[in-house]
Each structure stands twice: as C-alpha cells, then as structure tokens.
Amino acid sequence: MSRVPVPPCVGPGMCVRRALLKPRDVVYVKGLLEAADGLAQLFAEEGGAVTIATTNSQARDLDALLDALFFEVGAVIIDPCLVPVDDEHVA
C-alpha cells in the first residue's frame, strides 16, 4: 500500500511552519513532537517537505523547540517562524 500525501489540516486560530528535512529526519522530528503531548502536528509531504502546525497559544513554545531541532538536523528552513493561518489561507 503506497502512501499518499495529504494537505495539512489547519484553520484559523493556528500557526504553521514549513521546512525541508532529510527523509530519515522526518521520523525523528515527528517522534519528538508526538512526545511533547499535543504541542504540534507534523504533516509530511514528498521529499522531506514538512508542515508543522500548532495553536496560536502554543506558538512561542513550539518556535523555540523547532529552532533547536532544525539546527540539530540541518533543516532547510522555509518559514523562519510560525505563520498564523487566516480564513484566506486555510489548507
């Protein structure tokens, strides 16, 4: 069964941050985010492209964690910080 990428499920009241990771690092970062009990969701697309989403109220905590994680794994950062999602940019 092949995996099919799906667009991130985000909406108003949320923030997103995008980056490019090595495919092996996607699993590592996803595991760390899942261990952080509800801090964020990681949506993986092809080739290591990821979108990480959280609520506006958790953006500051997540940004600090992502800065450290992205540095550690050598990610190519697309969004330098979390970007709020508005009604026009709902995925």
pLDDT score recorded for residue 90: 47
Domain extent listing, the chain: 14-89
pLDDT for the residue numbered 38: 82
Q: What is the pLDDT of residue 20?
A: 96
Residues of the chain where predicted confidence (pLDDT) is lower than 70: 1-7, 87-91
* C-beta separation of 17 from 83 below 8 A: yes
Interstrand relation of 49-55 and 83-84 (parallel, antiparallel or unpaired): unpaired
Query: Residue 49 has what pLDDT?
Result: 93
- pTM summary value: 0.83
The pLDDT value recorded for residue 44 is 87
Find, among 50, 48, 30, 49, the residue nearest to 40 by Cα. Answer: 30
Which tokens sit at 19? 């980056």
> CATH number of the domain at 14-89, out of 2.60.40, 3.40.50, 1.10.1660, 3.30.70?
3.30.70
The Cα 91–Cα 64 span in angstroms is 24
